[in-house]
Amino acid sequence: MSSLEWIQAFAILGGLLLITKPVGLYLYHVLEPDRAGGTFLDVIVGPVERFVYALLGKRSREAQTWWQYAQALLIFSLVIMLATYGMLRLQGFLPWHQYVDALPNKTPLVGHLAFNTAASFLTNTNWQSYSGENTMSYFSQMVALVMHHFYSMTIGIAVCAVLVRGIAGDRGTTIGNFWRDLVRVILYFVMPICIVYALFLCSQGSIMNFKPTTTVNVLDRARQRRERRLLKLSSRDQSRR
């Protein structure tokens, strides 16, 4: 490793160490509001949280045993994975697929590729054996895949919280509520980070639109040689005619 790479590695490690305690304390307030108190976002996010609980039903806030928590987690994960698989397989019938269909080097979303993608995004591995730009439609990227960046990370945080609760309350019979953990982590932790980062990207000129894909000619020698060869061949054909 070069000196610059070492500096980058230590900078990342130092940044993680700096944010560990404040982020951990904040997550403690998010996941244990009854014991630690609420967060500074309660005034803004609280009404949204209560509305979600009203949609989920009263059981969404009742304490669960480890088996009930595991059942809720597995059922939710299965439903999300099947929904992702279905959206990927039906991509051609959903909105904003025409730009991908028009590409000459499109990778078809066959059954095993759609299943592997849904499973990998669900488990937060995000393993991809394709190029997203020539395989996934805008709808598939925004709805089928991006939602896993919320759910998979949130499920991971919830599992870690359950592990801590189990160790701390080894004589208890309940370990919290999966639906409450899911809702609170998304609303109080994941969404604020995404909003702040999205505003930062907008301020830097990053764009997102629904326009067709654009081919950019880069200053690459191999690409230039191929283009010169094609131009020569085309000129020869025209001269012969």
Q: What is the pLDDT along the chain (241 residues), one digit of tens a residue?
A: 788 889 999 999 999 999 999 999 999 999 998 888 888 999 999 999 999 999 888 777 788 998 999 999 999 999 999 999 999 999 888 888 777 767 766 777 888 889 999 999 988 888 887 777 778 888 888 888 988 888 888 999 999 999 888 888 766 788 889 999 999 999 999 999 999 999 999 898 887 777 777 666 666 555 556 655 666 655 555 555 5
What is the rounded distance in angstroms from the CA atom of residue 157 to the CA atom of residue 125? 15
CA distance 98 to 141: 14
Residues 4 and 93 in one domain: no
For residue 175, the model assigns a pLDDT of 87
**CA 152 to CA 158: how far, in whole Å?**
10
Number of separate domains in the chain: 2
Residues 66 and 8 in one domain: no
85 and 28: one domain?
A: no
Q: Are residues 214 and 107 in the same domain?
A: yes
Same domain, 130 and 160: yes
109 and 32 fall within a common domain: no
Cα–Cα distance measured from residue 79 to residue 82, given in angstroms and rounded to the nearest whole number:
5
| pLDDT at position 169 | 73
Predicted pLDDT at 230? 61
CB atoms within 10 A of CB 45: 18
Quick one: 46 and 35 in the same domain? no
Tell me what pLDDT residue 99 has.
72
One domain, residues 107 and 30: no
93 and 126 inside one domain = yes
Domain region containing 3: 1-39
Q: Quote the CA–CA distance of 37 and 35 in Å, as a whole number.
A: 6
Is 152 found in the same domain as 69? yes
Question: What pLDDT sits at residue 173?
Answer: 80
105 and 218 together in one domain: yes
188 and 230 housed in the same domain: yes
